[in-house]
Structure 1
Amino acid sequence: MVLTALRGALGFLTRLPVGHGGESWQAFRGSPWAFPLAGYAVGALLAVPLLALRTPAPGTTVAFAYVAWVVAVTGINHLDGVADVGDAAVVHGDRADRHAVLKDSAVGVGAAAAIALVFLGLAFGALGVVSFPLEIALAVVVAAEVGAKLGMAAVACLGTATHEGLGSQFTERASEADLLPAAVVAVPAVALSWPSPVASGALAGAVAVSLLALWWVRRLLGGVSGDAFGLVNEVGRVAGLHAGVIVWTLS
């Protein structure tokens, strides 16, 4: 059951050729704890540029490689959520107008601005992280990913879907009580940089901003959809990296 749900999570969160079968998907959407569990694996995979390019390449190049690798590994499905919510956020109208924009395939100014901010945040966060000792840098990348995925679990457990779709497939199977096991799975990430508090900061930053994004989306749209999962994932990752940089700088 655990491995089946994990495969489903990896299939949903990455472009890896795993977890796309019906059994894996069913197990995953009923297991919010699989989000942060997959975050450990995804974070370790995303840290590859830091391991491969750290010595021979300048920090700016490593940071760019990290951003490009994030897109290569995770795809753009979750960025689509950022774009859709970005467009909905700048609509002058009521919730019905915003929901109409979410379904529109056109890319507007709000979407372009939101995606640009995510990429800039990711690049600058990575540039700060690559200057850390290697083990600390790896801890921040993984902890930020685990925190972002815990945020996605929170969307499933605390959100109410606005309509039938991807979002409802998670929210209908999850309850508030399911968030506790997901949090328990995420807590060990704080030990990744022990005794330094950097991993704790990255995890906490990712979770805090993810929850803030969830609160904002619920106010904006009256509930959640598949786009909310994408938004929370992307901004959580960015926030986790920057929180790790801040904690390291101040410690």
Structure 2
Amino acid sequence: MALTAVRGAVGFLSRLPVGQSEVAWRAFGDRPVAFPLAGWLLGGLLATVTLLPGPDATVATVFVVATYLLTGPTHADGVADLGDAAAVHGDPERRRSVMRDSDLGAGGALALTVVVGGLFAAGLSLGSLPVRTAVAVVVASEVAAKTAMATLVCLGTATHEGLASALTATTDARDLGPVVVAAAPATALSWTAPAATLVAVPTGAVVAGALLWWARRTLDGVSGDVFGAANELTRLVAIHAGVVAWTLS
């Protein structure tokens, strides 16, 4: 059943042709630990980009393209929707209505620009690391991103019926234990430069905590857009944090 849950997670979190089924979805929804386990696989695939020869700017561009080819645009859409919600004035209902609007506002455009531009800059920064460390940081950042999503699933309350409610309804804080156990080994991936991954992985908890606090105050809870934004923001912060930690160590 654990493998079925991971297959459901990979099908939900990426565009890999693993097949979709109701059984896999239910197994995934009941086991938040499948998030970081899927992160190991997706991070390993993305890390292969750091092995490519060529100028840093070219590799960074390929890294951004590969990220969204692998994971799809769905989570980036969450960034845009949250950006629009953050930019508008009003009560939680007003902000949620803006998130449901398919039009892209100034806040969403700015948020997407920062995230995609920041990811390109992260790809450039990876070029300054030894290849082994760069691979470790990419894997660790993807595990951290999925850990952030799992944290919101375990601790958040959905604002309405939908994806978020389907995932949060059957989980609680007790499910965080297996999530932490599955993610923790990623802190030791960069054994030649331990600070890089030791710093990168905990960003999942930091970003999730900040988003959960913000969502409760401004949206009255979490949604699928909050989950997606957590994934994108954590990946971005984790890579930069890992590179900075390596630079200063």
Q: TM-score, normalised by structure 2?
A: 0.97
Distance in 2 (CA, whole Å) between partners of 1:129 and 1:2 is: 33
Counterpart check, 1:140 vs 2:140: no
RMSD: 1.0
Tell me the SS of whatever aligns to 2:161.
Answer: coil
Measured in 2, the distance between the counterparts of 1:206 and 1:131 equals 23
Report the counterpart of residue 32 of structure 1 in structure 2: 32
- Aligned equivalents of 2:198 and 2:60: distance in 1? 22
- C-alpha separation in 1, matches of 2:15 and 2:213: 28
Q: Distance in 1 between matches of 2:69 and 2:3?
A: 24
The equivalent residue for 1:17 is: 17
Q: Pairwise mapping of residues 183-194 of structure 1 onto structure 2 (< 5 A)?
A: 183-194=180-191
C-alpha offsets along residues 90-115 of structure 1, whole Å, 9 cap, x if unaligned? 11111111111111111111110010
In structure 2, give the amino acid aligned to 1:27.
Answer: A
Secondary structure class of the residue paired with 1:47: helix
Equivalent residue in structure 1 for 2:246, among 233, 245, 248: 248
Shift of 1:218: 2.1
| Residues 117-136 of structure 1: pairs in structure 2 closer than 5 A | 117-136=114-133
Q: Which amino acid aligns with 1:172?
A: A
1:17-45 Cα distance to aligned partner (Å, 9 max, x none): 11411111010011000000111001011
Identity in percent: 51
Matched, 1:99 2:96: yes
Code of the aligned partner of 2:12: F
Aligned pair partner of 2:171 in 174, 177, 195:
174
1:60 and 2:62 matched = no
TM-score, normalization: structure 1? 0.96
**Could you list the per-position Cα deviations for residues 187-216 of structure 1 after superposition, in whole angstroms to 9, with x for gaps in the alignment?**
010121114221111112343123212222
Corresponding position of 2:222: 224
CA distance in 2, matches of 1:27, 1:217: 27
What is the CA deviation profile of residues 119-161 of structure 1, one whole-angstrom value per residue up to 9, with x for unaligned ones? 1111111111122111100000000110111100011000000
Letter in 2 for 1:116: T
4+ runs deviating over 6 angstroms: none
* 2:209 matches 1:211: yes
Task: Kindly indicate whether the alpha-carbon contact (under 8 Å) linking 2:50 and 2:126 is maintained by their aligned counterparts in 1.
Answer: no
Tell me, yes or no, if the aligned pair for 2:187 and 2:201 is still in contact at 8 Å.
Answer: yes
* Contact kept? 2:48, 2:135, Cα under 8 Å: no
Question: Which amino acid in 2 is paired with 1:14?
Answer: S
Distance of 2:205 and 2:126 partners within structure 1 = 18
Which segment is superposed worse, 101-110 or 231-240?
101-110
Task: Work out the CA distance in 1 between the residues paired with 2:118 and 2:77.
Answer: 17
Tell me, which stretches of 5 or more residues in structure 2 are unaligned? none
